[in-house]
Amino acid sequence: MDKDKTPQLPVRMTRSSASSSNHIATAEVNSLEPLTINDLLVGGDPISLDDIISSFPGRSSQIREVVRLLGPLNSPMLPLFVYGGPSTGKTSIILQLFRHLNRPLVYSSCRTCHNQGILFESILNQLRLHRKNAANGYSTAKRCERPSDFVNFLREALTNVVNNLKKSENSISNKMTNGKIGNMIYLVFDNFQLVREWEKSSTILPLLFNLHDLLKMPEVGVIFISNTSPDTFYTNMGYVEPVPILFPEYTEGDIRQILLRNQLNQKLYSSFLDLVLHSFYRITNQVSQLSATLKPLYEKYCEPLNDKGKGVAHNSEMNLRLSTHIKPHISSALNEIFKISYISSTEVETQKEEKWKGKSSRSEQSKELGSLDFHMSTSAKYLLISAFLASRNPATLDASLFDSKGGFDNRKRKRKPSEKALERKETLEEEMLMKGPGTFPLERLLAIFQCLVSVAEDPSDNEEQNNNASGVQSGSGDLMSDILLQLSSLCNANFIFKGRSCPIEGSTRYRSTISEDLALKVARSLKFPLSKYLYRS
């Protein structure tokens, strides 16, 4: 946090840092004292509305609207639903506004509280001013799993807090001090879209949407923050819709302003943005992705300047030189940098970033070497490969690929005579690639598996002439044993998808779900020539 360097906020704060930094700071200061009602405030220095607006370019209408809907001190509120794409400033604006208004809020993110029990406990812990520590064995204030208990406890805790607020307000107004916090308390649910994927989402969603009506407390405001619009929350119950507030994606001009902030050499950076921003903006309009992508490109842009562009006089000649220097890099950057998943926080120091990148590239290298990063038995590997082949290759080609001996020498002979048929098959095969893996019955899988195992053991047979025939026999028998068990465990591990039984044929059909890369890796670990069996042009 470089808050002391700049009076304004840093350009972007991640959700966690924006929400937790203040809480953690207060928690560290008075880690021994019991929490007070003031810990429900966002904390930090008071900030004026104009500061907030200027620190979030392009968001002034949204900020004003939220302020209007939150209303003056002590005025009740209907539930709000704030939504917009990722990194459009929803959470940080809400939190900064509460810092400005100096009102208590209970913030819970549905990403960290990943099921209803944890969500309930987190809300209750905050409301009951409970802190997990060694003294209470890191236990929660109230254990509650059922929604019915939760609503009872919540009502109890909220009345408590509201009464305290009212009391303290009275005493403060007697003293005529400035720090009024009012008697409203706000519940903020962040990342609300994730609730839909919870186990009991069909009951918890209507409950949370109706929470305001259930509590029947005018002192409680409810705010939902979500990535997706309200109409993606289908419930079969229906609910009275909350008041929607849309945070649209930033326009190109806004993004320019956001990226320009905290840059040392504004002029240089702006001429850099002139060159590159438009082509990047056509691809993505998310600030997090853009800033991560543009950072290395900017470093490259500054390369011709010896002192990293800190105190360089700016002129058109220099500009031209720089732009010719950067031109060839732009398109490659467009294509390549999005490969690396973007770094979520720009506040991560550059050193760390470099380390991170180094690590990722190393891991990529190791992947290319072809080692599997998980263990799997040999027969399961063969089964996986045969499932992959059964999904990829059309069933009509099985006979030509695997004959009873499992050799390939016959294959070439068979392929030659019918060039036209081959072409037709190729288009068929391409179509299959388009449509994704095909389905196959169990019998076909087992037949291919048997072929593969026999093929795989042929070379070993040749190499190790000393081994007697019976040993090889028993080896193949080993691989074939428990094959259905292996199959079911592969199904459970989601490598093979088991469909419902086909109504016409009556047998269950399977489908392999692994990608070609993974299949090739598995084959390499077995030293199995998979590519010879893949039917492709």
Partner 1 sequence: MEGENHAVKAVNVLRSRICDPKFIFFDDSPDSNYSKLKFMISSSVTEACNNSILLLGPRGSGKSAVLELVIQYLMQEYPDSISVIRLNGLLHSDDISAFKEIARQLCMEHQLVFSKAASFDDNSQFMMAMLKECGLAHKTVIFVLDEFDLFAQGKQRLLYSLLDAMQSITSQAVVVGISCRLDADQLLEKRVRSRFSHRKLLFLPPSMEDSQRLLMHMLTLPIDSSFPHDYAVEFNKKVQNIIEDRRFKETLNKFLNIDSAVKDLLRFLFCAVSHMDLQTGFLSRENFEIAFFSIQRHPKLEFLRNCTELELYMLVCMKSLEVKEQSLCNFNSVMKGNICCYNRGQSFSSNHYYINVYWLGFRHLIDLEEISFLNFHCLNISPRKMQVLIDYYPICEELLSFRILPNLLRLKQF
DSSP bridge pairs for 221:
186
Identified binder of partner 1 from the candidate list 28, 231, 307, 349, rule CB under 8 A? 231
Tokens found for residue 464: 């190790």
Measured from the CB atom, the residue of 170 and 331 that comes closer to partner 1 is 331
DSSP bridge pairs for 244:
81
Measured from the CB atom, the residue of 111 and 132 that comes closer to partner 1 is 111
Count, residues near partner 1 per rule CB under 8 A: 67
From the CB of 519, what's the least distance to partner 1, in Å?
A: 10
**For residue 61, which amino acid is it?**
S
Measured from the CB atom, the residue of 368 and 478 that comes closer to partner 1 is 368
Task: Note whether 489 binds partner 1 by CB under 8 A.
Answer: no
Task: Note whether 289 binds partner 1 by CB under 8 A.
Answer: yes
**For residue 30, which amino acid is it?**
N
From the CB of 206, what's the least distance to partner 1, in Å?
A: 6
Measured from the CB atom, the residue of 415 and 509 that comes closer to partner 1 is 509
Tokens found for residue 418: 């019918």
| CB 524, CB 535: distance < 8 Å | no
Task: Note whether 536 binds partner 1 by CB under 8 A.
Answer: no
The Cα-based distances of 154 to 215, 220, 237, 433 in angstroms read 9, 11, 23, 54
CA 518/CA 413 separation, integer angstroms: 31
Identified binder of partner 1 from the candidate list 117, 230, 406, 529, rule CB under 8 A? 230
Identified binder of partner 1 from the candidate list 437, 445, 520, 521, rule CB under 8 A? 437
Tokens found for residue 22: 């203040």
DSSP state letters, 306-368:
TTTTSSPPP-HHHHHHHHHHHHHHHHHHHHHGGGSPPPS-TTS-HHHHHHHHHHHHHHHHHHH
Can you say how many angstroms the Cα of residue 156 is from the centroid of all Cα atoms in its chain? 36
3-state class (DSSP) for residue 75: coil
The interface with partner 1 within residues 240-269 (CB under 8 A) comprises: 240-241, 243-246, 248-249
Stretch that binds partner 1, among 344-352, 416-424, 429-437, 461-469 (CB under 8 A): 429-437
From the CB of 495, what's the least distance to partner 1, in Å?
A: 8
| CB 115, CB 199: distance < 8 Å | yes
Is the CA virtual torsion 442, 443, 444, 448 positive or negative? positive
Stretch that binds partner 1, among 90-98, 116-124, 213-221, 477-485 (CB under 8 A): 213-221
From the CB of 302, what's the least distance to partner 1, in Å?
A: 23
The interface with partner 1 within residues 325-344 (CB under 8 A) comprises: 331, 334-336, 338-339
Task: Note whether 283 binds partner 1 by CB under 8 A.
Answer: yes
Task: Note whether 372 binds partner 1 by CB under 8 A.
Answer: no
From the CB of 283, what's the least distance to partner 1, in Å?
A: 5
From the CB of 332, what's the least distance to partner 1, in Å?
A: 10
DSSP state letters, 144-196:
--SHHHHHHHHHHHHHHHHHHHHHHHHHHHHHT-S----S-EEEEEESGGGGG
Stretch that binds partner 1, among 10-18, 134-142, 277-285, 317-325 (CB under 8 A): 277-285
Task: Note whether 182 binds partner 1 by CB under 8 A.
Answer: no
From the CB of 286, what's the least distance to partner 1, in Å?
A: 8
Q: Classify strands 220-226 and 80-83 as parallel, antiparallel or unpaired.
A: parallel
**For residue 366, which amino acid is it?**
S
Stretch that binds partner 1, among 19-27, 129-137, 262-270, 275-283 (CB under 8 A): 275-283
Task: Note whether 394 binds partner 1 by CB under 8 A.
Answer: no
Task: Note whether 85 binds partner 1 by CB under 8 A.
Answer: yes
DSSP bridge pairs for 441:
509
Backbone angles phi, psi at 25, to 5 degrees: -60, -45
| Secondary structure of 111-134 as H, E, C letters | CCCCCHHHHHHHHHHHHCCCCCCC
| CB 286, CB 85: distance < 8 Å | yes
Measured from the CB atom, the residue of 283 and 421 that comes closer to partner 1 is 283
Measured from the CB atom, the residue of 434 and 469 that comes closer to partner 1 is 434
Using the structure block, give the residue that is written with the tokens 């068990």.
485
Q: Classify strands 105-109 and 80-83 as parallel, antiparallel or unpaired.
A: unpaired
From the CB of 228, what's the least distance to partner 1, in Å?
A: 5
String marking each residue 506-525 x if it binds partner 1 according to CB under 8 A:
-----x-xxx----------
Measured from the CB atom, the residue of 184 and 451 that comes closer to partner 1 is 184
The Cα-based distances of 178 to 52, 172, 452 in angstroms read 20, 8, 81
DSSP state of 511: E
The interface with partner 1 within residues 65-84 (CB under 8 A) comprises: 65, 68-69, 71-72, 74-78
From the CB of 220, what's the least distance to partner 1, in Å?
A: 10
Measured from the CB atom, the residue of 241 and 423 that comes closer to partner 1 is 241
From the CB of 433, what's the least distance to partner 1, in Å?
A: 7
List Cβ neighbours of 64 (8 Å cut-off, separation of 6 or more).
53
| CB 161, CB 127: distance < 8 Å | yes
Strands (E), 191-219: none
The interface with partner 1 within residues 193-212 (CB under 8 A) comprises: 203, 206-207, 210
Tokens found for residue 353: 């970033």
Q: Which residues bind partner 1 (CB under 8 A)?
A: 65, 68-69, 71-72, 74-78, 85-86, 146-148, 151, 203, 206-207, 210, 213-214, 218, 227-232, 237-241, 243-246, 248-249, 279, 281-286, 289, 331, 334-336, 338-339, 433-437, 494-495, 497, 499, 511, 513-515
